[in-house]
Structure 1
Amino acid sequence: MQTDNLSLKRSLVLQSFAPLFLLLTIKHLDINLYLKLIYKFIDIWSKTGIKAFAIAINHTSFGGFVVSAISIIWLMITIMIALGFNGIQKAGFKSAGEQIIIEDSPNDGGATFLVTYVLPLLTDDVESIRGLIVFLTMLIMVVLLLTRSNTFYQNPILAAMKYRTFSFKFLNPSNDITNPERVYIGITYKKPIVEEAVIKRKYISDGVFVIYND
């Protein structure tokens, strides 16, 4: 089997949370308020030094400010990842005359991801420090969980970009496929894969490939 592309896997995990941070941005972002608070923080910092942090943390809008900042940064990263994922399709594929047979083509992976991972994190309580810590802890735990699992392909952003996921088996696997009887996961763009036609593939991780007909 080819080497795991862990950077791409982690990128797709980060990308999958874009709907959460889009909703959080809409919910919490108040540019005028946050600009005023930043100016006020700078003014207090110039007068009291490090005590300004204690005042800022105790402000009722601190949690919303932190979540908004994280959300905007996350969404910017998501855009770069989406552009990068489109770019990887131009090179690095292996074409060895292989054919596949599709086992299943589920179309609800994005919805399942939203219900399972996104909605529970769409918490109301980030105004308090405790609520903010709970939210950030849950987010880190879920991201780590997905990074260590093979469900990262259940990505609502990929679904929105018209990528398809399916499970498949190789009919005539090349020598680098160490488990020829295993059911693998494929990701392809727009057009469904034609079964028993020659394919080209790029390995991501955990038995997940980007696949096109050659």
Structure 2
Amino acid sequence: MAWTFTTLKQAIQDYTQNSETTFVNNLSVIITQAEDRILKSVQLPDFRKNSVGITTGANQYVALPDDFLAPYSLALDNNGYEFLLFKDVNFIREAYPDSSSQGVPKYYGLFSDASFIVGPTPQSNYVIELHYFYKPDSITTTADGTSWLGTNAESSLFYGCLVEAYTFMKGNPELMQVYNTRYMEALENLKSLGEGYSTTDSYRSGAVRAAR
């Protein structure tokens, strides 16, 4: 069955047999933690989008979109698309130790949860297009109380919530293991839908770039 925020909260309480006030007040947190676990475990094509931005000359950092989860590709629009190669931050630091040395960026890396680092440092402003996996709205915050996970990944979401709920409750370890096993089985089924997608850059791994 498809979940709504209301039905999911009630099912969690029914399965855990827990209607204690503190537990109920934390159900939104429990659910969002379960959503985060799922979204960071499998990247589905449904959660890809594009974002166009501009690099700033003499600034080697590029801000990430607020809903960013993982990169798919980053391209520089420099009289035609030039795809940057995804590299570790240490590689970029070693390749371009002097951040004041500028040029056309060739590489990018995930510097923090708020920005990319590119190398070399851009010599001027460039239009860039980021194709990425994004974090969809939580079932706890949508206007109609529904979500993609609640409608299309019911088992993964539900058993993920039960694992988080029993962790919160410090519940029976044997029962939590049962729920964790069912969660992992449901997650494997969900992963099959996203086979071929990963958290690595698609251009580097040879995947075909999706149409804009």
- Report if TM-score (shorter chain) is over 0.5: no
Q: Whose helix proportion is higher, 1 or 2? A: 1
Q: TM-score, normalised by structure 1?
A: 0.26
Q: TM-score, normalised by structure 2?
A: 0.26
